[in-house]
Amino acid sequence: MTAETIPVPEPLTEPETAPEVSPKAEPRPLRELLPTGTPLILTAATAFVLFVACFIEFGLHGRALVGAVLCPALVFLAAIDWKHKLLPNAIVLPATLVVGLIVAAAAPGSFLTHLAYAAGLGGFFFLFGIIFAGSLGMGDAKLGFLLGLALGSKTIGAALISFAGLLVAALYVLATRGTSARKDAIPFGPFLALGGIVAYFLS
């Protein structure tokens, strides 16, 4: 006699599903980031006033041309970063290229000095953002590079003004909203813009 065998059903296996990969966020178009309505009018008016002030203060000089590019760019970057916490490449990169070309043409002897300050401030912001995650972003590092390239030896003063402004803002937020606001992110771009504009005109 042969032993009766009982068929054993094969274990049911569910097909493995591939892990979902979140799509990389596409950069938002610049037109969606620009202020609208009254804020746009105020931003554009401020940029225009600073543009004219550059030539009134420094005449038809390479320094005036640098300011005529730098100051309006900083005003729009400040407005965008304040609302969206973004510093779009569509403004930062063209402004950096044009400022670099103006500095190289108007003051070729000091171009390397300006480039060194640009690398110094941009590199410092980059390393700071890596060491203290969530503090500074790549946009801040790129804006720091732009400021250094435009301001040269005045870059340190611009950075000090920027950090002082950020400190005052942080203390104000804590005083008015309490410790619950400690985790709220304060955009650094507006303070970098303020520091850059003040250092440009006062130097």
Predicted confidence band of residue 27 (pLDDT cuts 50, 70, 90)? confident
pLDDT value for 170: 86
Task: Give 110-116's long-range contacts (Cβ < 8 A, gap of 24+).
Answer: 110/152, 113/152, 113/153, 114/148, 114/149, 114/150, 114/151, 114/152, 115/148, 115/149, 116/148
Quote the CA–CA distance of 166 and 181 in Å, as a whole number. 15
Q: Considering the chain, what percentage of its residues have pLDDT values greater than 70?
A: 84
The DSSP H or E segment spanning 138 is helix 138-151
Boundaries of every domain in the chain: 37-202
- Residue (of 199, 190, 200) closest to 86 by Cα position: 190
Residues 98-152 pLDDT 10s: 999 999 999 999 999 999 999 999 999 999 999 988 778 899 999 999 999 999 9
Chain mean pLDDT for the chain: 87
| Residue 63, pLDDT score | 93
Alpha carbons 75 and 172: distance in angstroms, whole number: 22
Asked if 53 contacts 86 with a C-beta cutoff of 8 angstroms, the reply is no
Torsion, Cα 153 93 140 100, to 10 degrees, reads -10
195 vs 35: CA distance, rounded Å: 22
